[in-house]
């Protein structure tokens, strides 16, 4: 009987230890690869990035997508709202090493002659690619997935969605217009996907 309990304990330990490691790593992964929104005055440009400059883990198999989402409200004959997405940059990358950020999207905000604000899709140096009026969409959404590499060889798959409303972009523009210095801005909503 003693031998049976010894074998049972060994079997439980054999399966419990990796499960425990996985749970701990899963909790730890929530802090890794968080999105951040930065303004860079040199390029008069914003960058929404996967932040890994202060990170200690390598991210692999990155897949990214950015969209501008317009929400068409529910009406008679269509009882649910509809999403109209303008797909912006999508991409894949092999690795994101510690000490580096990965740019999900670069953009500028600019006041027009009619006193409205334009959202300008740009390259990393602020050069214009495409222009949208800020009042034609409600949200900027950036999605990404990646593996978090670790020494225990329990690679954790993470997925995140960063959302910034057009209303928040308007407020950010007012702050930058008043004081154009390098800084980060809050993201309205960050969703972890498990």
Tell me what pLDDT residue 55 has: 81
Tell me, what's the pLDDT at 18? Answer: 62
* Inter-residue contact 130 to 89 (CB < 8 Å): no
In the chain, which residue ranges form alpha helices assigned H by DSSP? 2-29, 166-178
Output the pLDDT for position 89: 85
Compute the distance between CA of residue 56 and CA of residue 184 in angstroms, rounded to an integer. 21
pLDDT at 74: 86
At residue 35, the pLDDT reads 96
Note the pLDDT of residue 171.
95
What CA–CA distance (Å, rounded) separates 18 from 154? 9
Contact 109, 173 (CB under 8 A): yes
CA atoms of 118 and 134, how far apart (whole Å): 5
pTM score above 0.85: no
Residues of the chain with pLDDT under 50: none
Token pair 């969209």 in the structure block, residue:
67
């Amino acid at each position: 009987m003693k031998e049976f309990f010894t074998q049972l304990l060994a079997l439980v330990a054999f399966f419990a230890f990796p499960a425990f490691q996985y749970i701990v790593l899963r909790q730890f992964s929530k802090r890794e690869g968080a999105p951040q929104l930065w303004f860079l005055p040199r390029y008069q440009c914003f960058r929404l990035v996967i932040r890994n400059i202060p990170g200690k883990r390598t991210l692999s198999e990155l897949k990214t997508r950015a969209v501008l989402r317009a929400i068409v409200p529910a009406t008679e004959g269509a009882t649910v709202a509809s999403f109209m997405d303008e797909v912006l940059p999508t991409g894949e990358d092999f690795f994101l090493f510690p000490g580096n950020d990965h740019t999900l999207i670069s953009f500028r905000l600019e006041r027009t002659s009619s006193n409205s604000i334009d959202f300008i899709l740009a390259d990393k140096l602020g050069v214009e690619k495409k222009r949208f009026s800020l009042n034609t969409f409600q949200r900027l959404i950036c999605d990404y997935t990646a593996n978090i590499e670790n020494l225990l060889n329990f690679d954790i798959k993470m997925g995140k969605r960063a959302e910034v409303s057009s209303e928040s972009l308007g407020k950010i523009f007012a702050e930058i217009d008043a004081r154009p210095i390098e800084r980060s801005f809050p993201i309205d909503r960050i969703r972890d996907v498990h």
